[in-house]
């Protein structure tokens, strides 16, 4: 019975997402959008924190800013996507860098999708739902 209860409550969750953002208001906005829609979220505030938490949590998806302290998001993405354990974890870059060259570079190094700020909650949720199986 306990196992069934655990499975029922676990099945209501939509996925575990690591959100990597060093700007507190943006981080909280993304977290609120995701949690309101049933996702479990974890926070990282710099590139090193992102790598450590990805290794410890093994999330279903990573939302990653580019401009981060310690190690930038492009480097984090490349490191994770070049590691067998993380290769299949989708990475969505969410950045203020809007140039096509930045988008192209993000995809080239392994990001699965590139979104730009300011955040549009509908677009964020549509994109996340493409990568997390319900």
For 1-50, what is each residue's pLDDT tens digit? 333 333 334 444 679 999 999 999 999 999 999 999 999 999 999 999 99
**33 in Cβ contact with 124 (< 8 Å):** yes
Dist CA 44 CA 19 (whole Å): 6
Asked if residue 112 has pLDDT above 50, the reply is: yes
Pairing of strands 40-44, 91-95: unpaired
Is the pTM above the cut of 0.85?
A: yes
- Listed in sequence order, the residues at least 6 apart from 127 whose beta carbon sits closer than 8 Å to its beta carbon are 92, 113, 115
Longest C-alpha distance within the chain, in Å? 54
Residue 92 φ/ψ, nearest 5 degrees: -110, 120
Q: Provide the pLDDT for residue 13.
A: 62
Can you tell me the mean pLDDT for 98-126? 95
86-114 average pLDDT score: 96
Out of 3.40.50.300, 3.40.50.720, 3.40.50.2000, 3.40.50.2300, which CATH number does the structure's domain 15-129 have?
3.40.50.2300
pLDDT for res 133 = 72
């Amino acid at each position: 019975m306990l196992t069934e209860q655990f499975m029922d409550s676990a099945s209501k969750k939509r996925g575990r997402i690591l959100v990597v953002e060093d700007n507190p208001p943006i981080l909280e906005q993304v977290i609120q959008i995701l949690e309101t829609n049933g996702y479990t979220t974890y926070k990282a505030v710099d590139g090193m924190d992102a790598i450590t938490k990805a290794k410890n949590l093994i999330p279903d998806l990573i939302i990653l800013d580019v401009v981060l302290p310690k190690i930038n998001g492009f480097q984090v993405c490349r490191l994770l996507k070049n590691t067998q354990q993380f290769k299949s974890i989708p990475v969505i870059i969410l950045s203020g860098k809007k140039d096509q060259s930045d988008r192209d570079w993000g995809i080239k190094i392994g990001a699965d999708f590139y979104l730009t700020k300011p955040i549009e909650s509908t677009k964020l949720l549509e994109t996340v739902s493409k990568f997390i199986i319900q």
